[in-house]
Amino acid sequence: MNPYLDISPEVQQALAEGRPVVALESTIISHGMPYPKNVETALRVERTIRENGAVPATIAIIGGRLKAGLSEAEIEYLGKTGRAVAKVSRRDLPVIVAKKADGATTVATTMLIAHMAGISVFATGGIGGVHRGAETTMDVSADLEELAQTPVMVVCAGAKAILDLKLTLEVLETKGVPVIGFGTEELPAFYTRESGLKVDARADSPAELAAMFAAQRGMGLKGGMLVTNPIPQEFAMPKDVIDAAIEQALSECSAQGIHGKDTTPFLLARVAELTGGDSLESNIRLVLNNAMVAAKTAAALWK
């Protein structure tokens, strides 16, 4: 086992017994939502995974230790500390670990640590991708590179709607990452169910998702699989409302000179403000929906 990695007793026992485990990221706790809603949501997501037949493993860095499985007290700590906790991607890991610091893991880092621990299914809200204007800024999320090289299935509601979804799909295609729509042939756009863009294939059950991922692993193909699960219809936002909020948030982001890893937290928070909190509630509902699908898929994979 990796000498920098700590696996919680519950997760360790589940892995030893070959039972299904689902990884969860921690950036959504520290940077994605305000306190105490972030802690309440994290605990609800863990409960949802248990209710659907799997063991949750929330991933973070505490005191320089890579953690696969957090206690309720550790989740509370990350939620209360908020953005004072470093947002950690792959490149940041050596520094955070060497300094014995705390870190909230992005999609990329959660995938990496999950793989170290032997966890192959991961549920999140939305992945990072190609930012709008990337043809000049070169702002492309490390999540896409991690998907290209780390054999973990990521269940999400698509790439975050603040991104350039068409270019994000193009990069995933170039890197050979299968993009599977759960119950849909169209890429969901995070807050809304449609984007007008086609995914690579459709799966209509967790068993079908598990079979696809088992085939990918069985052939020894490099990289992960992206499952895009649309937000439930009753919690989806009107496209014109969310598009207007995103455009305004992007304009303010540019005017304030915000860039790099600060961009996504700023945009998500600003969109939540501009929509009167409606986008935050949608975000919570889509994460819970993804957790349910991921747990059922992990259970099907185990069977």
Catalytic, out of 67, 76, 146, 160: 160
Tell me the H-state helices in 33-164. Answer: 37-51, 72-81, 93-98, 107-117, 134-137, 142-149
Amino acid at 209: L
Dist CA 116 CA 135 (whole Å): 34
> Is 87 part of the annotated catalytic residue set?
no
Please report, for residues 117, 195, 269, 283, the alpha-carbon distance to residue 240 in angstroms, rounded to integers and kept in the order given.
42, 12, 18, 17
The pLDDT score that the predictor gives to residue 131 is 82
The pLDDT score that the predictor gives to residue 132 is 77
For residue 234, the 8-state DSSP code is G
> Is 160 part of the annotated catalytic residue set?
yes
Query: What values do phi and psi take at 24, rounded to 5?
Result: -135, 145
Within 71-223, strands assigned E span 86-88, 103-105, 121-123, 153-156, 179-182, 201-203
Domain 5-302 belongs in CATH node 3.40.50.300: no
Catalytic, out of 25, 46, 74, 146: 25
The pLDDT score that the predictor gives to residue 258 is 82
**Token pair for 126:** 């939305």
Q: Tell me which residue of 52, 58, 87, 85 sits closest to 71, measured CA to CA.
A: 58
Dist CA 56 CA 122 (whole Å): 9
The pLDDT score that the predictor gives to residue 275 is 82
Largest separation between any pair of C-alpha atoms in the chain: 53
Instruction: Give, for all 303 residues of the chain, the pLDDT tens digit.
Output: 799 999 999 999 999 999 999 999 999 999 988 999 999 999 999 999 999 999 999 999 999 999 999 999 999 999 999 999 999 999 999 999 999 999 999 999 999 999 999 999 999 999 999 987 777 778 899 999 999 999 999 999 998 777 889 999 999 999 999 999 999 999 998 888 988 999 999 999 999 999 999 999 999 999 999 999 999 999 998 888 888 888 898 789 888 988 777 777 787 788 888 887 777 888 899 999 999 999 999 999 998
Query: What own/partner pairs with CB < 8 Å and gap ≥ 24 does 205-208 have?
Result: 205/300, 206/293, 206/296, 206/297, 206/299, 206/300, 207/300
The pLDDT score that the predictor gives to residue 234 is 93
User: Domain spans of the chain?
Assistant: 5-302
Dist CA 99 CA 95 (whole Å): 6
